[in-house]
């Protein structure tokens, strides 16, 4: 990457303060910036570094007020963090491989591959697969029969997508994710064993979904396990059969969601949370990390705790819980006094 400050300002629709011809070829944190680096400043905690950084160009918010002169060129934008993220996205796209199909891949004759796609070595693509334009499938991935993958989607190395699943446009699926494996369904029989319940559904992801490394999403028993538009899933998440994840819901790592639970839109679920099956989680719900969710949650609730309830009530209860040893000692003293 090599851009002038003027070119960057044009990309971001920003305003330049300083030399418009300064060139950057790398990206760095503002506290570590050196000549040729592009940095950003959005958190006021890091403002002192604007006066000491050696970076050539720094992206800042329009409303940033400076106490003294700075050596770097500034590009002022509405939101420096969002603007910088756009540049990172551009940079990331530049590092992706060029389009082309490796002769070491195994592609069914009935599969349809769109324009400007990249299919890496040792990729398997099954019968009747449709891969739309500008999609990347990295090496050692498995794409089962009748799978559809939308435009501009990136499938990183070692991803497994089982038969009949539908992946939306502009998805990102990170290395090692498994999409569409059997749901965990077994029925006890009269002999004390378990009969496997066949899972004949699929997984559907809508547009702009991101799925982290080694996350597993089970296919539905009947119908679809559904990940809606804009949902973001961290690494090592387990999503059971027939689960629905709402639009723009964000789920941190190590979360487990049991089958048939429905999670609403714009929710935030903290890491290491466990959510029982057949529940209804409302819209705009916040779940703190390490929470156990065993009952339905209404819209807008914030919950916390191993047996989840309202976060404010939990914090009040936790303060009391920490005082229990002293309260117990006091109670014993009162009891001894009364028994004299």
User: Active-site residues: which are they?
Assistant: 241
In angstroms, the Cα distances linking 151 to 66, 110, 280 are: 44, 19, 32
Helix, strand counts (H, E) of the chain: 4, 40
Interacting residues of 176 by C-beta distance below 8 A, sequence separation 6+:
157, 158, 159, 213, 214
In angstroms, the Cα distances linking 257 to 84, 232, 262, 298 are: 33, 15, 10, 17
DSSP state of 204: E
In angstroms, the Cα distances linking 288 to 150, 233, 246 are: 33, 16, 18
What is the phi/psi pair of residue 321, to 5°? -60, -40
CA–CA distance, 214 with 179 (Å, rounded to integer): 10
> Which of 165, 103, 110, 99 has the alpha carbon at shortest distance from 136?
99
What is the phi/psi pair of residue 136, to 5°? -115, 130
């Amino acid at each position: 990457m090599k851009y002038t400050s003027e070119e960057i300002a044009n990309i971001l629709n920003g305003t330049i303060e300083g030399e418009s011809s300064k060139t950057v070829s790398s990206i760095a944190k503002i506290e570590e910036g050196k000549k040729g680096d592009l940095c950003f400043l959005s958190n006021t905690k890091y403002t002192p570094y604007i006066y000491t950084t050696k970076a050539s160009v720094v992206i800042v918010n329009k409303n940033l007020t400076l106490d003294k002169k700075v050596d770097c060129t500034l590009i002022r934008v509405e939101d420096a963090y969002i603007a910088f993220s756009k540049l990172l996205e551009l940079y990331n796209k530049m590092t992706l491989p060029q389009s082309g199909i490796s002769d070491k891949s195994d592609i069914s004759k009935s599969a349809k591959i769109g324009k400007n796609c990249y299919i890496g070595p040792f990729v398997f693509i099954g019968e009747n697969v449709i891969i739309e334009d500008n999609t990347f499938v990295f090496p050692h991935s498995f794409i089962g029969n009748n799978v559809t993958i939308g435009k501009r989607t990136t499938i990183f190395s070692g991803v497994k997508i089982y038969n009949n699943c539908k992946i939306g446009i502009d998805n990102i699926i990170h290395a090692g994710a498994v999409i569409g494996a059997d749901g965990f369904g077994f029925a006890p029989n009269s002999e004390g064993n378990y009969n496997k319940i066949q899972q004949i559904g699929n997984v559907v992801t809508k547009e702009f979904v991101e799925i982290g490394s080694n996350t597993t999403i089970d296919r539905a028993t009947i119908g679809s396990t559904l990940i809606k538009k804009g949902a973001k899933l961290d690494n090592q998440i387990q999503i059971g059969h027939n689960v629905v994840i709402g639009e723009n819901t964000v789920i941190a790592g190590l979360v487990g969601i049991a089958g048939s639970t429905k999670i609403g839109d714009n929710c935030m679920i903290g890491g290491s949370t466990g959510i029982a099956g057949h529940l209804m989680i409302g819209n705009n719900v916040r779940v703190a990390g390490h929470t156990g969710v065993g009952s339905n949650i209404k819209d807008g609730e914030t919950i916390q705790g191993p047996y989840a309830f309202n976060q404010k009530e939990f914090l009040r209860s936790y303060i009391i819980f920490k005082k229990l040893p002293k309260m117990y000692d006091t109670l014993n003293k009162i009891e001894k006094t009364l028994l004299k």
